[in-house]
Amino acid sequence: GAVVSQHPSWVICKSGTSVKIECRSLDFQATTMFWYRQFPKQSLMLMATSNEGSKATYEQGVEKDKFLINHASLTLSTLTVTSAHPEDSSFYICSVGSEYYEQYFGPGTRLTVT
């Protein structure tokens, strides 16, 4: 399956600042990437679908002005959490859709907002 990396793996930022998380597809050209959020001991919740060269599609209830997604190339999508607050602290995971219908996931990024 596709190999997906995320950077950073863990980030701590102060309330009110912005933080960018990168998701890279290392061996597969991904026209579509997905961003999920996972709270402790909970399931994955899809935040948005990132499409290369076009605007992301956000799920209901996700603030698109707060969670900025850019999919500038077939191998890179970024999620920027703007004006982060402690309630944004979570585990963020990206994934890549494959030609076999499943998704392959990155290792995740733990965001802590102080």
For other proteins, the binding residues (CB under 8 A) are: 1, 32, 34, 38, 42-44, 46, 49, 91, 93, 95, 97, 100-105, 107-108
Rounded to the nearest angstrom, the gap between the alpha carbon of residue 51 and the centroid of all alpha carbons in its chain is 12
**Closer Cβ to other proteins, 28 or 91, answer by number:** 91
**Closer Cβ to other proteins, 38 or 112, answer by number:** 38
CB of residue 82 to other proteins, shortest distance in Å: 24
**Closer Cβ to other proteins, 32 or 82, answer by number:** 32
CB of residue 23 to other proteins, shortest distance in Å: 13
Residue 32's alpha-carbon distances to 67, 84, 88, 114, in angstroms, are: 17, 26, 24, 32
How do 32-38 and 76-81 pair as beta strands? unpaired
What sign has the CA pseudo-torsion 88, 24, 96, 29? positive
CB of residue 32 to other proteins, shortest distance in Å: 6
Q: What is the DSSP letter of 10?
A: E
CB of residue 106 to other proteins, shortest distance in Å: 8
**Closer Cβ to other proteins, 52 or 82, answer by number:** 52
HEC sequence for 32-54: EEEEEEECCCCCEEEEEEEECCC
